[in-house]
Amino acid sequence: MPAVGEIYLVTGGHGFLGQEVIKLLIEENRDLSEVRILDKVIQQNFIESLQALAGGRIKLTVFKGDVRNKEILQKACQGLTCVIHTASVIDIWGYISNEELESINVEGTRLLLDACIQQNVKYFIYTSSVEVVGPNARGDPICNGDEDTVYLGKLRFQYSRTKYAAEQLVLSTNGCLLPNGEQIITCALRPMFIYGENCRFMKSHLDEAIINGDVLQRNSKKQALVNPVYVGNVAWAHVLVARAMKDKDKKKIVCGKFYYITDDTPHMSYSDFNHELMGPLGFTIPDKLNMPLLFMYVTAFILEIVQFLLKPFIRYIPKTNRHFITMLNTKFTFTSHKARNDFDYIPRYSWEVVKKQTTAWLASIVQERRDILNKK
């Protein structure tokens, strides 16, 4: 193992995206000497698989905890080259309190930035989300938007608001003076909806379809086009922008900027996307929405009223809400041309390949999911 080399910290390193980022760092960064993994839960078999991949060339260090633990952050940031901050809490249904979302997504990011500055960490990459843009409550569409697209409207999800606040913290920290006299360089990536093997949201849709007699629910109209992005391509974008930050010419371009991350996944509605991947397994989907869109909004509104009335007595969380319906039924697509121009981002994995891989993963778990659901 090299005595001197780059040291990366990946927060949320055991998560869906974090795992892929770490794997690509090990495979593609020849100057890497150590990867530090920060997460609340880290399974030993994951660490063993990384050790096999590293082949003794790279040291792996585990920090169990979350981004609100100042002591862990200080230790994890000592001697660090770069932080890739993927850790966050995702919630668009209301299962997690607003205070908890704010505490982890915003305050946790603030504490991590503070630790980086105190420990002279020069590079900081934040995993943001397309949801920091919208859609807004009116469901105004965007077709092939980019970083210059102006989109007005209040963010309804507390998750979206906290991700946006954290992103702005990261970008505004760019250029801050470090104790060693250098300046910190920050950047944020805004991927579309991330899918791929081990995606828990896809597993949830699979379960719903099994319960519904192998019929997928149509909750989004066909015209509500979106462009999901494969997890491996999002991870690859993180690796590439980290390279650009260390390039004397490119770092001047990417510092303090945000970038949309997409790939060649076809534009289609969320419901049709689920069917595209699960159709080969025998799952079907109706041509029309489960109920008229207006009726879906009315039903959601009534459920929100019930939630409000019951709040003093019990915690009731509706399975849907009006903004979730808007998100599923709004045309919202973007391009990643700027990422290509500024730091040479080209998707590493093609749609043809990832479709086969993701469908194969779904096929590998479908019987297990049937067995589990039948026992309930």
Which CATH number does the domain housing residue 15 bear?
3.40.50.720
What is the DSSP secondary structure assignment for residue 176, as one 8-state letter? P
1: pLDDT strictly greater than 50 = no
Report residue 255 as tokens.
């510092």
pLDDT range class, residue 2, cuts 50, 70, 90: very low
347: which residues sit within 8 A by CB, 6+ positions away?
Answer: 230, 233, 236, 263, 264
116 lies in some domain: yes
d(CA 327, CA 131): 9
Residue 22: inside a domain: yes
Does residue 72 carry a pLDDT above 90? yes
DSSP H helical ranges for the chain? 16-28, 44-54, 70-77, 98-101, 108-118, 158-173, 200-211, 231-245, 251-254, 270-278, 293-310, 322-328, 337-343, 351-375
Tell whether 99 is covered by a domain: yes
- Average pLDDT along the chain: 93
Q: Which of 8, 123, 126, 159 is catalytic?
A: 159
- Per the annotation, the verdict on 159 as an active-site residue is yes
pLDDT, tens digit, 9 for 90 and up, residues 263-298: 999 999 999 999 999 999 999 999 999 889 999 999
Look at residue 241 and tell me if it is in a domain. Answer: yes
Range of the domain at 59: 6-198+227-266+333-350
Distances (CA, A) of 105 to 119, 260, 309: 21, 20, 29
Task: Judge whether residue 187 has pLDDT over 60.
Answer: yes
The reply to whether 55 falls in a domain is yes
Q: What are phi and psi of 251, to 5 degrees?
A: -60, -30
% of the chain residues with pLDDT over 70: 99
pLDDT value of residue 54: 87
**3-class SS of residue 257:** strand
Categorize the per-residue pLDDT at 256 as very low, low, confident or very high, splitting at 50, 70 and 90. Answer: very high
Is residue 275 in some structural domain? no
Residues 124-137, mean pLDDT to the nearest whole number: 95
Confidence of residue 152 (pLDDT cuts 50, 70, 90): confident
| Structural domains in the chain (count) | 1
302 within a domain of the structure (yes/no): no
Question: What is the three-class DSSP state of 37?
Answer: strand
Examine residue 290 and state whether it is found in any structural domain, yes or no. no
| pTM score, whole prediction | 0.94
pLDDT for 293 equals 93
β-partners of residue 142 are 332
